[in-house]
Structure 1
Amino acid sequence: MKFLRALASLLVVAGLVSGSLIATTSNADAASKLRFTKLYADSPGTDRGSNKSLNAEYVVVKNTGSSKIKIAGYKIKDKAGHTFVFPKGFVLKARRSVTVHTGRGTNTGSHLYWKQRWYVWNNTTDTAYLLNTRGSRLDTCTFPRKHSKAYVTC
């Protein structure tokens, strides 16, 4: 009888361990579905630092997968080290995008605000890095030095 209880306990523990491994693997697979789609580095007009101008500078992240991804704590960084952290509880729905604006505003499921008071992205050249909570790079998008538009499609 003790042997059967011990065996049952062992099977429960094995099931919990294997279940957590499956969850980790699927979360990693889900994170691989995150991609930058656009970096608008040079907002229109003269750079005077108005909130409207700051919010015209942005980066777009898309979930290309078929399931939602919890990206709270994920980060977007630039070459200079400016860092945006996705807010607590933030989930990006399947096949949806979120636009991260440089300036201030009210966060929604499709628009987030960095709350900066000056520009993050360089008009001449810059790179956006998308990092998971462990700091592993998931994607990059570079605004090249010689570019005819104010944005780049990633």
Structure 2
Amino acid sequence: MAGPAEAASAVQIHRVYFDSPGSDRGSNASLNGEWVQLFNTSRTSRQLRGYKLKDRTGFTYTFGSFKLGGRKSVYVHTGKGRNNATHRYWGMTRYVWNNNGDKAYFRYPNGSLADSCSWGSSGSSKYC
């Protein structure tokens, strides 16, 4: 159980879709089939500027000015696209999340861990 200094972040990793549908040929559509869903568990909006989403090898997505509404989700897609209130795009040209097991880290702007989620080699997504 988390103590007061380890209280859970209001924004948490809810699901990681690490194995995009179809064959992994690197198309932008396939890259965007790989995503991390973050969910704001609180009723109030949260400013995510400076928060980071990382994998085990160090690939890092850093949020610019972005406010996530209370009880709302945002999906961070691996590929390119147009950012909006519910979908953000990393702009990568290769896959980030390993199909055979990996770990997603969600970090506060100061670098401390807000949440994480790991998975093995089975399935195509993981609820965290």
TM-score, normalised via structure 2 length:
0.92
Residue 41 of structure 1: how far off its partner (Å)? 0.5
Residue 45 of structure 1: how far off its partner (Å)? 1.4
Structure 1 stretches lacking a partner, 5+ long: 1-28
Say whether the 8 Å CA contact 1:41–1:143 is kept in structure 2.
no
Which SS does the other structure have where 2:30 is aligned? Answer: helix
Which SS does the other structure have where 1:76 is aligned? Answer: strand
Residue 128 of structure 1: how far off its partner (Å)? 0.3
Q: What is the aligned counterpart of 1:140 among 112, 116, 125?
A: 116
**Counterpart for residue 124 of structure 1:** 100
Larger relative helix fraction: 1
Q: Deviations over 1:93-138 (max 9, x none)?
A: 1000000000000000100000000100001001000001000101
Matched, 1:57 2:19: no
Q: What is the aligned counterpart of 2:14 among 32, 37, 42?
A: 37
Residue 32 of structure 1: how far off its partner (Å)? 1.7
> Quick one: which amino acid aligns to residue 92 of structure 2?
Q
Count of paired positions: 122
Which SS does the other structure have where 1:53 is aligned? Answer: helix
**Aligned mates of 1:39, 1:144 — CA distance in 2:** 12
Which SS does the other structure have where 1:98 is aligned? Answer: strand
Say whether the 8 Å CA contact 1:49–1:117 is kept in structure 2.
yes
Q: After superposition, where does 1:1-150 map in structure 2 within 5 Å?
A: 32-87=9-64, 89-145=65-121, 147=122, 149-150=123-124
Q: Percent identical across equivalent pairs?
A: 44
Which SS does the other structure have where 2:22 is aligned? Answer: coil
> Quick one: which amino acid aligns to residue 61 of structure 2?
F
Who wins on radius of gyration, i.e. which is larger?
1
Which SS does the other structure have where 1:130 is aligned? Answer: strand
Residue 39 of structure 1: how far off its partner (Å)? 0.4
> Quick one: which amino acid aligns to residue 101 of structure 1?
H
Q: Deviations over 1:61-115 (max 9, x none)?
A: 000001111011100000010000012x211110000000000000001000000
Larger relative strand fraction: 2
Which structure would you say has the larger RCO, counting Cα contacts within 8 Å and 6 or more residues apart? Answer: 2
Structure 1 outlier segments of 4+, above 3 Å: none
Say whether the 8 Å CA contact 1:130–1:139 is kept in structure 2.
yes
TM-score, normalised via structure 1 length:
0.77
Which SS does the other structure have where 1:32 is aligned? Answer: coil
Matched, 1:153 2:127: yes
Structure 2 stretches lacking a partner, 5+ long: 1-6
